[in-house]
Structure 1
Amino acid sequence: MYLRGLVPGRRAVLALAIGAVSGWLAALAGMPLPWMLGPMIGNTLAAILSLPIRGPDRLRPLVIPVIGVMLGSAMTPEMFDAAGRYATSFALLLPFLGVTAFVSYAIYRRVGRYDPVTAFFSAMPGGLNDMLILGGAAGGNEKRIALAHAARVLLVILFVVLFYGYALDVSSTEVARGTAASALTPLDWALLAGAAIAGVPLGRALRLPAPQITGPMALSGALHLAGLVTVAPPGFLIVIAQVVIGTVIGCRFIGVSARQIGRDLSLGALSSVAMIAVAVGFAALLTAITGLPLSLSFLGYSPGGLTEMSLLALAMGQDVAYVSVLHLVRIMLVIFAAQPVFKATRRKDQSGTKAPRSGS
């Protein structure tokens, strides 16, 4: 009965088919995060056109741990070598994240009039998957959170490409941090699968935020740091996970008008421009202090995706390890700090609103 409940219905199958084709076309076009943004865009258009689709929501909990294991696979001993060589970059990272989040949050709250939960997780400079999961769990509007981060990733890539004159050279078979299935040993399969399966209850036991992703990420990271496994999950599983998640996101726009989607995307563009401006400022400060090239400093602080910024660093002949480590640390900081910070600020707001009443 349980397995039968996981089999998608006809509407969900149609949505997944649209997602797969859209992802393939996005990969051919060289779009960043093609297997995520492609299905999201394709199914958003299908929703606007009132096609008979439905999100494969029951498959989502099965694929989220795959993303967590993928993120954890980037935790290698080389990270600590880079951390020692670029201490100043990491020292400025926390204030950079604070300023970036504050500016973006102000835009979503004051200009967009988003509710506090949606504004907070839309403003966080984390990954689309991570913030969508955390924001949805906190009661935020997943449609708006998804559009905010999709706009940010696309605009950051566009800015870097136009400003530096480089283009991503990504083939249609490029998979973010994926490994060919044939390259995995039986032990690799067992350890990665174990991290995905055992990571979720571990995350819940440790009371981690969004345990479906942070638990597998932590367990996978521990396995990679210990050297027990040195590869990422199979590329085809990462593609499937992204297609499912992107399809679910796109289907959330069923019944939403094109005008509303356009408004949210415009607001996301405004926020992205502000975040890029903050990143340029901190990159210039870092360059003045350390003498690092401005292009490298900006790639490290840019509010784009880990994979996309790493690919750009490779295309530009920059230090890929530095860019990758800095973005991985940023993502980890945002994932583990977002929920506690949100709860703390909410408690402060609530206490601030109650105080005047007690004195009246």
Structure 2
Amino acid sequence: MTRSLLLRRCMTVLISAAGVAIFLLLDLPLPFLFGPMAASLVIALCGAPLAGLGQVSIAARSVLGVAIGTSVTPALVAELPSMLASVALVPLYIVVIGLIGVPFFRKVCGFDLVTAFYAAMPGGAADMTIFGQEAGANVRQLSLVHVTRLMVIMVVAPIILVNVYGVGLTHPIGPPASDLPVWELVIMAVAAIVGWKGGERIGLFGAAILGPLLVSAILSLAGILHLRPPREALLAAQFLIGMGIGVSYVGVTLRELRNTVAGGAAFVVILAALAGAVTEFVTLTGLAPPVEGFLSFIPGGQAEMSMLALVSGADLSFVVVHHLTRILVVILGAPVLFRLLRRAQPPD
């Protein structure tokens, strides 16, 4: 690591910490998540050369993976069949998003077909950017749209949870570290590292979350793990995830802000309306409670939505099952669907 990079990272952490302090002082919600995100976002847009923490930031997602995995219990497994009806709506929901999103990005934002298609797909930001790059998309536009989707949803979703569904965001996210047995903390750490790095070795998508999730779920079902990671670890994960979103806007120009970022933000409004409609449907049909339905179908980042499920007291496993289904369907289906779409296009 160069001295310059070290200084940039230290500056980023200090700015993000200041964001936490401001949010705490003003008694704003989720200070460890929104404080770093807001502070680093504003400073990044001002042109400061901020830098993320690389592997440390990725490791934060492994904490969430363990938190999700430890919620997988025999009782949850017994409930999985009851989720099938709402999970079956996910592929249809993705198709509707694509049918609206592709024309939106082509006609409103002026994207080419490849970029518009992968910008509209509600998959993982990294996966969609990689797929789009391989297909010849404008990578800069694509990455900005998906980062904006994650960021705006992270702002909009809590507002909807509080003001529409009347949910408080103060649910305890985990016990303090002092209340957990040392041996269980060690096992959690091992599960996080083995799951993350093992997942990377076998090419698992979203390895930083899914690897620890799978390992800790097995340990939970085996009766070895009984508690979530400590509160301190989950707050640190919030801090790093929020900071990472803000830092993604380093180097964004005014033109990109006006065109690409604004277009991505406008698309999120459409996504929020769609999520609201689907939530109403699954609620009225008894397929899901309102909060779980909303968090399951709002197409934000898997890590971010898991964190919102934790702080809102929603059924974490229900939410995660739906988001995993969405990500899996998009990753497997998007490249195939795009090839079919391209073949259907008339030749120039």
Assess same fold via TM > 0.5: yes
Shift of 1:46: 1.4
Match of 1:44 in 2: 41
Q: 2:325 aligns with which of 333, 337, 351?
A: 333
Q: What is the one-letter code of the residue matched to 2:325?
A: L
1:222 paired with 2:214, answer: no
Q: Distance in 1 between matches of 2:334 and 2:30?
A: 27
Shift of 1:101: 5.0
Shift of 1:331: 1.8
Shift of 1:181: 1.0
Q: Distance in 1 between matches of 2:184 and 2:3?
A: 26
Shift of 1:95: 2.5
Q: Distance in 1 between matches of 2:4 and 2:72?
A: 34
Q: Which moved more, 1:185-194 or 1:263-272?
A: 263-272
Shift of 1:62: 3.9
Q: Distance in 2 between matches of 1:157 and 1:84?
A: 29
Match of 2:136 in 1: none
Q: Distance in 1 between matches of 2:228 and 2:102?
A: 34
Q: Which moved more, 1:181-190 or 1:135-144?
A: 135-144
What stretches of structure 1 of length at least 5 have no aligned partner? 315-319
Shift of 1:229: 0.5
Shift of 1:31: 5.7
Q: Structure 1 residues 333, 6: closer, same or farther in 2, change over 3 A?
A: farther
Equivalent pair of 1:156/1:303 in contact (CA under 8 Å): no
SS at match of 1:9: helix
Q: What is the one-letter code of the residue matched to 1:150?
A: M
Q: 1:10 aligns with which of 7, 11, 24?
A: 7
1:134 paired with 2:135, answer: no
Match of 2:234 in 1: 238
Q: Distance in 2 between matches of 1:178 and 1:118?
A: 40
Match of 2:153 in 1: 152
CA RMSD in angstroms, aligned pairs only: 3.8
1:202 paired with 2:198, answer: yes
Equivalent pair of 2:41/2:246 in contact (CA under 8 Å): yes
**Total equivalences in the alignment:** 336
Match of 2:168 in 1: 168
Q: Distance in 2 between matches of 1:169 and 1:280?
A: 19
Equivalent pair of 2:306/2:319 in contact (CA under 8 Å): yes
Shift of 1:147: 1.6
Q: Distance in 1 between matches of 2:188 and 2:24?
A: 26
Q: Distance in 2 between matches of 1:121 and 1:70?
A: 30
Shift of 1:82: 3.7
Q: What is the one-letter code of the residue matched to 1:220?
A: S
Q: Structure 1 residues 86, 346: closer, same or farther in 2, change over 3 A?
A: closer
Q: What is the one-letter code of the residue matched to 2:230?
A: P
Q: What is the one-letter code of the residue matched to 1:329?
A: V
Deviations 1:106-141 (A, max 9, x none): 434543345777756654556xxxx34434555554
Q: 1:53 aligns with which of 50, 53, 72?
A: 50
Q: Which moved more, 1:66-75 or 1:180-189?
A: 66-75
Shift of 1:327: 1.3
Shift of 1:16: 0.6
Match of 1:19 in 2: 16
Question: What TM-score comes out, normalization by structure 2 length?
Answer: 0.77
Q: Which moved more, 1:195-204 or 1:31-40?
A: 31-40
SS at match of 2:127: helix
Q: Which moved more, 1:82-91 or 1:266-275?
A: 82-91
Match of 2:104 in 1: 107
Q: Distance in 2 between matches of 1:14 and 1:214?
A: 31
Q: What is the one-letter code of the residue matched to 1:334?
A: R
Match of 2:80 in 1: 83
Q: What is the one-letter code of the residue matched to 1:148?
A: R
Equivalent pair of 1:55/1:247 in contact (CA under 8 Å): yes
Question: What TM-score comes out, normalization by structure 1 length?
Answer: 0.75
Match of 1:342 in 2: 334
In percent, how many aligned pairs have the same letter? 24
Q: What is the one-letter code of the residue matched to 2:109?
A: G
SS at match of 1:217: helix
